Every structure is written in C-alpha cells, then in structure tokens.
C-alpha cells in the first residue's frame, strides 16, 4: 500500500513540482494529493521546515519521514520532534541529493539525508534489527539488506553495497528512525542527539568533563537552524 502511495506521490511530483519548486506548485500539488490520498498529520510542518533550507524538497521524502517518525513514536512529543527536524537540517539540509543530482556524502563518508556511516548501517542491520523493526521497514518499503549477512563478501564490497543501500532515501530515513528510537529509549533527546553525532565514546567523554548537554556544538547548531525556519 505504502509503495503504491509513494509511487503516486512521485508521479504527481513530476507533474506538479518542476526542478525549481515554488510555493504555488506546492499548494497545487497538495490540493491534488488531498483529493487522492490522506497526507500524514505532520506533513505541512515537516515540508515547511525542510523547504526553508531546501527549495527542492521532495514530497515523497517528506511523507516517508513523517511515516517513519510516526511508526517509531518519534513525533509524540512536540519538542523532541522539532529537534529531530532540526537534526535533519543540520545533517544534510534535509536532502538526499543535491541540486546537481549528486548524492549527499560527507568527507567522512556519511551518506544521504541522515548522514549515516556505512559501517554504522552494517552494524545495526546485522545485530540490532528486531521483529518490530522488520515490520516497520516493510511498511515503509525498505529494500533488501541481506548483503550484510553474506560473509563471502569482502569488507570493501559490503561497504560499497551499504553505500548503495543508504543512497535510497527510504532506507536512509528508516535507518535514522531505528537509530534515534534506540537512543531515545536510553537517553533524553539532547543526549540522544549528541550520541548520534559523535558516538557513545565521545559522548561519555563530553559528559565526564562536566559539560552541559545544551553546550554541545551539535545541539547549539540544531537550535540555531530552527530559529531561521520561516
């Protein structure tokens, strides 16, 4: 069902959203979509936030983000959800691909919308995916990731396949949802965000020095970006 929904949205996007998307085009698309499907509850808020930084915001990406956030319970607290939106702006400017159609990849090799390292995705896919995660992944349309269990693959080839897997925005956002959901089960939102940014070891070192979570550069940058959302 969701795959058909995403396909419909993508087709409509091609019709109503030219490469340089405008507010008028968005409103036209929204009216057209509402006549055929029910958009997620947070669609307007997420689209507006992402569009403030990325004028070519992909409508299907917004729908996927809303669905993943809902399925993982990441949208139940407004303050938490706002910071997660800011996280998307901080990580990639809320985009999977740049204006020139190149995949968003950092200097450290972090991939796509949620800037996930290939090694991190392999670790989670190999050891941390529960039955509940599998159900969620299936609902949003995550593609096959059995390559992570193929021990015949060299480490390099597995990393290459992970990059391809993460280049699919549905996979990328679903992986983000899994990671943040796990972090928020053990930490408050500020510590969960810091851990996402620097990893558990550096996170512990940061706290061991007596630092406050709000003073971490990642939290400061996220909040700064949210101030400029129109």
Domain ranges of the chain: 2-227
Share of the chain above pLDDT 90, in %: 77
Give SS3 for 39.
Answer: coil
pLDDT tens across 2-17, in order? 444 444 444 444 434 4
pLDDT for 228: 86
Residue 34 binned pLDDT confidence (cut-offs 50, 70, 90): very low
Phi, psi of 96 (to 5 degrees): -95, -35
Going by C-beta distance under 8 Å and a sequence separation of 6 or more, which residues neighbour residue 8? 36, 37
Determine the average pLDDT of the residues in 41-49.
96
Spatial contact of 112 and 102, defined as CB atoms under 8 Å apart: no
Distances (CA, A) of 30 to 4, 38, 69, 130, 230: 17, 10, 21, 35, 19
Give SS3 for 30.
Answer: helix
pLDDT tens across 103-152, in order? 999 999 999 999 999 999 999 999 999 999 999 999 999 999 999 999 99
CA distance 99 to 223: 25
Q: At what angle do helices 131-140 and 169-186 cross, to 10 degrees?
A: 150
Determine the average pLDDT of the residues in 183-192.
96
Q: Which CATH number fits domain 2-227: 1.10.10, 1.10.3470, 3.40.50, 1.10.530?
A: 1.10.530
Spatial contact of 177 and 186, defined as CB atoms under 8 Å apart: no
Residue 186 binned pLDDT confidence (cut-offs 50, 70, 90): very high
Among residues 182, 61, 168, the alpha carbon closest in space to that of 132 is found at: 182
Q: What is the pTM of this model?
A: 0.84
Share of the chain above pLDDT 70, in %: 84
């Amino acid at each position: 069902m969701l795959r058909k929904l995403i396909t419909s949205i993508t087709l409509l996007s091609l019709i109503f959203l030219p490469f340089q998307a405008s507010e008028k085009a968005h409103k036209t698309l929204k009216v057209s979509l509402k006549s055929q499907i029910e958009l997620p509850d947070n669609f307007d808020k997420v689209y507006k936030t992402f569009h403030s930084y990325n004028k070519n915001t992909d409508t299907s990406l917004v729908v996927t983000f809303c669905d993943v956030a809902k399925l993982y319970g990441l949208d139940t607290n407004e303050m938490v959800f706002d910071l997660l939106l800011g996280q998307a702006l901080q990580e990639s400017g809320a985009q999977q691909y740049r204006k020139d159609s190149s995949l968003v990849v950092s200097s450290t090799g972090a991939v796509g919308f949620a800037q996930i390292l290939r090694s991190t995705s392999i670790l989670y896919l190999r050891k941390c995916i529960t039955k509940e995660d599998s159900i969620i992944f299936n609902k949003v349309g995550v593609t096959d990731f059995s390559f992570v269990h193929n021990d015949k693959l060299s480490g390099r080839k597995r990393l290459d396949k992970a990059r391809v897997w993460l280049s699919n925005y549905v996979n990328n956002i679903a992986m983000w949802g899994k990671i943040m959901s796990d972090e928020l089960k053990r930490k408050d939102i500020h510590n969960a965000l810091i851990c996402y940014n620097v990893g558990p070891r550096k996170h512990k070192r940061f706290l061991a020095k007596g630092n406050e979570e709000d003073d971490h550069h990642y939290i400061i940058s996220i909040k700064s970006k949210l101030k400029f959302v129109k």
